[in-house]
Amino acid sequence: MAAPLAIDSARAAISEAIGRAAARDARVLASATVEVEPIDPAGAVLASRLASDRWFCWEYPDDGGFALAALGSAHEVVSRGDGRFADVGADCAALLRDAVRDEPRDLPPGAGPVWTGGFAFDSEGGREPQWSSLPPALMVLPEVSVLRDRGRCFITASVVVEGDGDRALAAIDPRLAGFRDAQPPPLDPAPTARTEISSPQPPGRYEELVATARERIASGAIEKAVLAREIRVAASSAHDPAPVFGALRELFPSCFCFCVGTPEATFIGASPELLIRRRGAVAATVALAGSARRSADPSVDDHLGQQLLVSDKDRSEHEIVVRRIERALRRHSVWVQAEERPALVKVANIQHLATPVRAQLADSRSAVELAGELHPTPAVGGEPREPALALIAETEGLDRGWYAGPVGWMDAAEDGEFCVALRSALLRDRVAHLYAGAGIVAASEPAAELAETEIKFDALLPFLAS
């Protein structure tokens, strides 16, 4: 169990907030936040979750050890269609507008009542049964959330009160009582059970898709299209996300490591790509496109990175993404500034061209709304957007679901961050669905693009296959 004094303090605070909310005789959100001794947010949530729970883990270890984890569902906002980002943003704000909140002053972003979740790549979401518990747009206000940032840690309890304060307290009490500190279990270093790896489409089919996209580009219809593929890992028993998440955050400390859990499935990944971070009037993102493999030999690794930096093909692909992001942010900003030249972002098994972009917002736009303005970037869709998306729908033959969609969080101040859900997998019972894609431009070679997807699969495949 987490420190008893911390839980007692959280219970007392939420009890007070519930009492004040119940006096209003209306549906009111009541939340309470207390600062506690640092714990492992993901470990606590993974150890405390029930089979019937929605839950969420988010870590960016290199950013001051930032970690946010959430358990249970006090309220859910669901939407679909072209207006889903605006709908979700408005509904999230409406619930928090008249909330009763008991919390310290000057909470860091992510502390206090917080929305967690994400959005499918397509506005209508996944069509295949494995995506059934992850709708096109879903943001959850958890019953309990834990934030750790730069040595400080906060626990927040939230409940929606509809007149009966005693019933609301009775609902949150077991959640707090069952919350315990723990670490994710380690991966089995010598698994004995065999797994089976398969692909819904043969690799040669992907090379044909790349050739088709090149023909469309040569005709002048599009500049770039991102095509993805899927592989599946079938195990002898259900895949456990807890040790996989623990391994991802250790191996990919410079990535956004995430888990979105439901009673039926878990969407998990370690994405190198920030879609949007909002802090007050400042928005930040990173254009990420153009990839090369890593090498264990430092001199070879540096050489591969330098080749990437001077590659006309990769620089062209990257510049398409930078231009689109600048245009999207400029509509809502006083100024937008992108670095003049891309830098290298190196993660465990791959390196990318990356250009940071910052903007001073001219009007109030929530993190969710900004995510909707940017999604999908040409790094996961294409350019121009509509013809590229039409090509994907026509040729890819893949239900992306939440793959390449925005996943992240937004707090009560509407600050937050969303990554692009890359290097990801959907775990559903014994089957893991892994996804990877590559950006196709005029100079793309089918065999090279296929090889790039294989490198990207290597982010999760070793943890799921034995």
Closest CA to 421 of 119, 132, 70: 119
- Give catalytic status of residue 273 as yes or no: yes
| Secondary structure of the chain as H, E, C letters | CCCHHHHHHHHHHHHHHHHHHHCCCCEEEEEEEEEECCCCHHHHHHHHCCCCCCEEEEEECCCCCEEEEEECCCEEEEECCCCHHHHHHHHHHHHHHCCEEECCCCCCCCCCCEEEEEECCCCCCCCCHHHCCCCCEEEEECCEEEEEECCEEEEEEEEEEECCHHHHHHHHHHHHHCCCCCCCCCCCCCCCCCCEEECCCCHHHHHHHHHHHHHHHHCCCCCEEEEEEEEEEECCCCCCHHHHHHHHHHHCCCCEEEEEECCCCEEEEEECCEEEEEECCEEEEEEEEEEEECCCCHHHHHHHHHHHHHCHHHHHHHHHHHHHHHHHHHCCEEEEEECCCCEEEECCCEEEEEEEEEEEECCCCCHHHHHHHHCCCCCCCEECHHHHHHHHHHHCCCCCCCCCCEEEEEECCCCEEEEECCCEEEEECCEEEEEEEEEECCCCCHHHHHHHHHHHHCCCHHHHCC
What torsion do the CA atoms of 174, 178, 184, 186 make, to the nearest 10 degrees? -120
Among the listed residues 59, 103, 224, 317, the single catalytic one is: 224
Is 224 a catalytic site residue? yes
Active-site pick, 103, 273, 326, 369: 273
Catalogue the active-site residues: 224, 273
